Amino acid sequence: MGLLTILRKLKEKEKEMRILVVGLDNAGKTAILKRLTGEDVSITTPTFSFNIKTLAYRGYTLNIWNVGGQLMLRSYWRNYSEGTHCVIWLLTEERLISSTLAILANKQDLGDAVSIQTIHAALQLDKIRGNHWLCFPCSGLTLDNLVEGIDWLVNDIASHVFTQE
């Protein structure tokens, strides 16, 4: 491997973002990731550990860690937080104090979806200090507001993690 190849790989590494996706089981985490990577969402099975999807997005490499939401797995969520730039959903973990928080209120295409106002109040988002956060109503099935949510989190991470070249 030549010096230019090594330098290029180091440069590419600088543009990587690690995103942790957590939430209760059957919240739609895997469906959203499948939709973002162009996979079929009609057949989605529960994630019983974790899976990683890598996505090229607007000049960045997004390494998205999808962690299962079953009760028996939740105690392990904190093990995935090291080096995380963004959390999609809420985790109370000190190591994530400066991470971007994007709450994707999925399944908004369903009639009984919880409103953004209800989520905002239940999670007491106004009390969050030290994190940039935003709550997006979205649908992994129809793509409504999903791209806007990902745009916001990529812009937010880039604004405080990566310096101008």
Cite the active site residues: 70
Q: Is 12 exposed, middle or buried (0-12, 13-18, 19+ CB in 10 A)?
A: exposed
User: Token pair of 12, please?
Assistant: 């590419």
Nearest CA to 139 out of 107, 100, 104 is that of 107
Task: Tell me the torsion sign for CA atoms 40, 41, 42, 47.
Answer: positive
Question: DSSP state, 89?
Answer: S
Is 61 labeled as ligand-binding?
no
H or E, element range at 139:
none
User: Token pair of 98, please?
Assistant: 């400066």
Is 83 labeled as ligand-binding?
no
Is 142 labeled as ligand-binding?
no
Is 107 labeled as ligand-binding?
yes
Q: Is 14 helix (H, G, I), strand (E, B) or coil?
A: helix
Quickly list H helices, the chain.
Answer: 3-14, 29-36, 71-74, 116-123, 146-161
Is 156 labeled as ligand-binding?
no
Is 28 labeled as ligand-binding?
yes
Quote the CA–CA distance of 34 and 28 in Å, as a whole number.
10
Binding residues: 23-30, 47, 69, 106-109
Binding residues for Mg(2+): 30, 47
Binding residues for GTP: 23-30, 69, 106-109
